[in-house]
A and B are shown apart, each in its own frame.
Chain A
Amino acid sequence: MNLHEYQGKQLFAEFGLPVSKHEVVFNSDEAIQACNKIGGTKWVVKAQVHAGGRGKAGGVKLIESPEEARDFADQWLGKRLKTYQTDENGQLVSAILIESCTDIDKELYLSAVIDRSSQSVTFIASSEGGVNIEEVASKTPEKIIYENVDPLTGPQPFQARRISSVLGLDSNQAKQFSGMFQNFVKLFNELDLSLLEVNPLVINSEGKLHCLDAKINLDSNALYRHPSLVEMQDPTQEDPRESEAAKHDLSYVSLDGNIGCMVNGAGLAMGTMDTIKYFGGAPANFLDVGGTATQERVSNAFKIILADPEVKVVLVNIFGGIVRCDLIAEGIVAAIKDVGVNVPVVVRLEGNNAELGSQILADSGVEVESLNDLESAAKKSVELAK
Chain B
Amino acid sequence: MSILVNDQTRVLVQGFTGSQATLHSEQSIEYGTNIVGGVTPGKGGTTHLNKPVFNSVADAAKAEEPNAALIFVPAPFCKDSILEAADSGIELIICITEGVPTLDMLIVKKKIDELGLRLIGPNCPGIITPDEAKLGIMPGSIHKKGKVGIISRSGTLTYEAVKQTTDLGFGQSSCVGIGGDPIPGSSFIDMLELFNGDDETEAIVMVGEIGGSAEEDAADYIKDNVSKPVISYIAGQTAPAGKRMGHAGAIIAGGKGTAADKISKLQESGIHIAESLLHIGETVKKVIG
Q: Which chain A residues have a beta carbon within 8 Å of chain B's beta carbons?
A: 114, 116-117, 119-121, 134, 150-152, 189, 192, 194, 219-222, 224-225, 251, 253, 255, 263-278, 283, 286, 288, 291, 319-322, 350-352, 374-375
- B276 contacts which chain A residues (CB < 8 A)? 274-275, 278
**A321 touching B155 in the complex, CB below 8 Å, given contacts A152-B107, A268-B160, A351-B139:** yes
**A116 touching B156 in the complex, CB below 8 Å, given contacts A224-B76, A274-B276, A277-B237:** no
Contact of A221 among B75, B109, B210, B246 (CB under 8 A): B75
Contact of A253 among B23, B183, B245 (CB under 8 A): B245
A152 to chain B, nearest CB (A): 5
Instruction: Give CA–CA (A272, B235) in the complex, Å.
Output: 9
Instruction: Give CA–CA (A265, B179) in the complex, Å.
Output: 12
B139 and A269: CB pair below 8 A? no
Interface size class of B (residues with CB under 8 A): 35 or more
**A374 touching B278 in the complex, CB below 8 Å, given contacts A266-B247, A319-B159, A321-B159:** yes
- A322 contacts which chain B residues (CB < 8 A)? 23-24, 27, 137, 139
- List the one stretch of B43-51, B84-92, B95-103, B223-231 in contact with chain A: B95-103
Q: Main SS of the interface on chain A?
A: mixed
Output the nearest chain B residue to A269 by Cβ-Cβ distance: B246
Instruction: Give CA–CA (A148, B210) in the complex, Å.
Output: 24
Q: Which chain B residues have a beta carbon within 8 Å of chain A's beta carbons?
A: 23-24, 27, 75-76, 99-104, 106-107, 109-111, 114, 125, 137-139, 141-142, 152-160, 163, 180, 182-183, 207, 209-210, 212-214, 217, 233, 235-240, 243-250, 254-255, 259, 275-278
Instruction: Give CA–CA (A225, B250) in the complex, Å.
Output: 23
What are 10 sample pairs from A and B whose C-beta atoms fall under 8 A apart?
A: A116-B249, A224-B76, A251-B244, A253-B239, A267-B154, A268-B160, A286-B239, A286-B246, A321-B156, A374-B277
Residue of A121, A286, A352 ringed by the most chain B CB atoms within 10 A: A286
**A116 touching B245 in the complex, CB below 8 Å, given contacts A121-B106, A351-B159:** no
B211 to chain A, nearest CB (A): 8
**A152 touching B155 in the complex, CB below 8 Å, given contacts A222-B103, A270-B236, A274-B237:** no
B138 and A269: CB pair below 8 A? no
Output the nearest chain A residue to B74 by Cβ-Cβ distance: A224
Output the nearest chain A residue to B103 by Cβ-Cβ distance: A192
- A116 contacts which chain B residues (CB < 8 A)? 182-183, 212-214, 249
B212 to chain A, nearest CB (A): 5
B193 to chain A, nearest CB (A): 18
B153 to chain A, nearest CB (A): 7
- A251 contacts which chain B residues (CB < 8 A)? 244-246
- A192 contacts which chain B residues (CB < 8 A)? 101-103
Output the nearest chain B residue to A193 by Cβ-Cβ distance: B103
